Structure 1
Amino acid sequence: MRFLIRRIFSISEKLRARPTVIRNYSNDAQKNEEKKEEEVRKNIVIEKFDTIVTLNIDRQKSRNSLDIPTLNELTVALDTFEKDATAKVLVINGEGGSFCSGFDVDELADKGYNPLKDASSRLLRRPLCDKPTIAAVSGYAVAEGFELALACDLRIIEETAVLGCLGRRFGVPQGMFGARRLTSLIGLSRALDLLMTGRLINGSEAYQIGLGCKLTATGTALGESIKLAKSLVKFPQNALIMDKLAAVNSQLNPNSEESMRDEAVMTSLLGNAIEDIKEGAKKFQGGIGKHGKFYKLTEVPLKDWELEETLEEVQVSIQKKDDKKS
């Protein structure tokens, strides 16, 4: 899909990371030597189509999970978009068929929850950006990836997309205001269903309950998001942003003592939750709960009778030839 879009728009690829090859022919001894200096591969690829910017998460081997370097790149990309006067709409996309699978579990197990949460602090902004943002949701948008999609203003969701709070399996809370955003979008009852059970929903159900502004076929979320962005940039932006901020602030930024107290209580609970997260990460690395499985998450000791060996007695009767003739 991205290749088709490139043919429609003029592309700026200055921000794409490419290997730089340096050849040194300064003297005869070094004439045949080739020195290669490769930049560290970037996990966030930015492309600009006139006034529309696409932010593409590119960690395909881990379904675009978010480690600390990726979160740092994401922060820079979002701030750059906000400061660019020529950029009007941001489309967030995941390369390779998945939007984002949440925090990198290996790094979560190695470095703990707080470093990843600190690295994702830019995503706590409500709204994510003052300018319009669109999530092109394909494949997996789970855990913090689900929260990232919720943080965007609009969501184009593919029919076969998979969304949900997969962190529920291992005690990982919604760390980027996902619970508040989800409740604001679909109401308390439906939000509690997804938050407490952690069950996964497909794109069709997500659209039915109000999470998406459009349901689209597999492989078309990015293209449809670009089309939606084009329909937004034609409007005068000041009034559009004013109305958007008024709506978002009325739902996500209630300025009251009760709200501040509730958030303080939730923060105090995080200390105990971190111990659960450590154990959950170890379980995942050991194979428990992989591929989105919610069963056999706990190890149940076998009872005595289950440990006993049972022997099945099999009787085999051999009929003699003489008996058969008679």
Structure 2
Amino acid sequence: MRSLIKNIFLSSNLSFTRICSVRFASSKSDAQKSEEELKNVEEIKKNIVVEKYGGVTTLNIDRQKTRNSLDEATLREMTQAINAFDKDAEAKVLVFNGEGGSFCSGFDLDEVEKKGYQNLVDAAARLLRRPLCDKPTIAAVTGYAVGEGFELALACDLRVIEDTAVLGCLGRRFGAPQSLFGGRRLTSLIGLSRALDLLITGRPISGIDANVMGLAAKLTTTGTALGESIKLAKSLIKFPQNALIMDKLAAVNSQLNPNSEESMRDEAIMQSLLGLAIEDLNNGIKKFQGGIGKHGKFYKLTDAPLKDWELEESIEEVVVKVDDDKNKKC
């Protein structure tokens, strides 16, 4: 699926950048490094792949043998990637995806046994932010999104969920609590009664069930979550971003951060964006007055000249003067 999307974006002349996990030797001198240095390269091999399609960035978890479970190294790499996205002025929307047919199966239990539960929670500290990022985030949910993987999907602003996906608090079987504010996020999204059902029983639900509960921004078919997520992300990029971020922060703050330090941080960000949002609004008014976006249209929001069929119809009154003398002669 990712290769298909890559070809589509390359054919449309959008910039495509892949951040590879291992840098290979480019000269004979590089190839003659010591065995110890080569071992270090293997140790820092990444478990995620970050790709960019214009203003859309995808963060792909690539630990397919364990259904993309999260060990300490992967969590720290995710933190670096998310922070890089935050600082990238060209990046507008972040899409989380899992390689090989599963979104994320939660914490790696072997790693929990080896290093301890708290060490993984500490490594996942960046995922505790509410919201996860100031800019929009989307989860492309396919296959299993369970345990902390379910919580990662809940942390995103929007979720595109495949109908055959499996979601839930499967950590209930092992006595694992919700590590990433999953209980609070789930309750704010679907209400207390439904949230308690999933949290207490730990029962898995299908993508169809998740859509009925209100967790999905879009329900899609198997194998299409990533493509639909990128399509959704592209639709968000065309909007002025300042007001979009302000409204998002206000909504998240009202549910997840009431009377907290994070609430004060969000308020400060919204105030800093206000001036830019007003400037965007003034530009938007000029566009609307010029005919762009009228009648509730969400397409062609740029300053491109409108085609004849897009222009609003007008009726002009035509006055025909009849010469009575000529009519009499006819």
Fold in common (TM above 0.5): yes
Residue 258 (structure 2) aligns with:
254
Give the TM-score normalised by structure 2: 0.72
Residues 156 and 215 of structure 1 are in contact (CA less than 8 Å); yes or no, is this contact kept in structure 2? yes
Report the Cα distance in structure 2 between the residues aligned to 1:25 and 1:66, rounded to whole angstroms: 36
Select the residue among 56, 61, 64 that pairs with 2:65. 61
Q: Measured at CA, do residues 151 and 63 of structure 1 come closer, stay the same or move farther in structure 2, by a change above 3 Å?
A: same
Structure 2 residue identity aligned to 1:145: G
Q: Deviations over 1:233-274 (max 9, x none)?
A: 000000000000000000001117xxxxxxxxxxxxxxxxxx
Residue 271 (structure 1) aligns with:
none
Select the residue among 141, 148, 154 that pairs with 2:152. 148
Residue 271 (structure 2) aligns with:
none
Report the Cα distance in structure 2 between the residues aligned to 1:214 and 1:169, rounded to whole angstroms: 29
Q: Measured at CA, do residues 182 and 234 of structure 1 come closer, stay the same or move farther in structure 2, by a change above 3 Å?
A: same
SS for the counterpart of 1:20 is: coil
Residue 87 (structure 2) aligns with:
83
Q: 1:1-326 maps to which residues of 2 (within 5 A)? A: 1-10=1-10, 11-18=15-22, 20-21=24-25, 24=28, 40-255=44-259
Q: Measured at CA, do residues 69 and 25 of structure 1 come closer, stay the same or move farther in structure 2, by a change above 3 Å?
A: closer
Structure 2 residue identity aligned to 1:66: L
Residues 185 and 211 of structure 1 are in contact (CA less than 8 Å); yes or no, is this contact kept in structure 2? yes
Residues 71 and 120 of structure 2 are in contact (CA less than 8 Å); yes or no, is this contact kept in structure 1? yes
> Shift of the alpha carbon at 1:112?
1.1
> Shift of the alpha carbon at 1:24?
3.1
Give me the CA root mean square deviation: 2.0
> Shift of the alpha carbon at 1:221?
0.1
Q: Measured at CA, do residues 20 and 176 of structure 1 come closer, stay the same or move farther in structure 2, by a change above 3 Å?
A: same
SS for the counterpart of 2:111 is: helix
In structure 2, the gaps of 5 or more residues are 261-330
Structure 2 residue identity aligned to 1:153: D
Residues 20 and 36 of structure 1 are in contact (CA less than 8 Å); yes or no, is this contact kept in structure 2? no
Report the Cα distance in structure 2 between the residues aligned to 1:42 and 1:18, rounded to whole angstroms: 8
Residues 147 and 171 of structure 2 are in contact (CA less than 8 Å); yes or no, is this contact kept in structure 1? yes
Residues 21 and 36 of structure 1 are in contact (CA less than 8 Å); yes or no, is this contact kept in structure 2? no
Q: Deviations over 1:58-91 (max 9, x none)?
A: 0000000000000000000010000000000000
Report the Cα distance in structure 1 between the residues aligned to 2:16 and 2:178, rounded to whole angstroms: 35
> Shift of the alpha carbon at 1:14?
4.6
Residues 43 and 73 of structure 1 are in contact (CA less than 8 Å); yes or no, is this contact kept in structure 2? yes
Structure 2 residue identity aligned to 1:67: D
Q: How many residues align?
A: 250
SS for the counterpart of 1:47 is: strand
> Which consecutive aligned stretches of 4+ in structure 1 deviate over 6 angstroms post-superposition?
none
In structure 1, the gaps of 5 or more residues are 257-326
Report the Cα distance in structure 1 between the residues aligned to 2:29 and 2:116, rounded to whole angstroms: 48
Q: Measured at CA, do residues 60 and 243 of structure 1 come closer, stay the same or move farther in structure 2, by a change above 3 Å?
A: same
Report the Cα distance in structure 2 between the residues aligned to 1:175 and 1:92, rounded to whole angstroms: 18
Report the Cα distance in structure 2 between the residues aligned to 1:73 and 1:23, rounded to whole angstroms: 28
Residues 22 and 36 of structure 1 are in contact (CA less than 8 Å); yes or no, is this contact kept in structure 2? no
Structure 1 residue identity aligned to 2:130: R
Give the TM-score normalised by structure 1: 0.73
> Shift of the alpha carbon at 1:5?
1.0
Structure 1 residue identity aligned to 2:3: F
> Shift of the alpha carbon at 1:21?
3.6
> Shift of the alpha carbon at 1:22?
5.4
Q: Which structure's relative contact order is higher, taking Cα pairs within 8 Å and 6+ residues apart?
A: 1
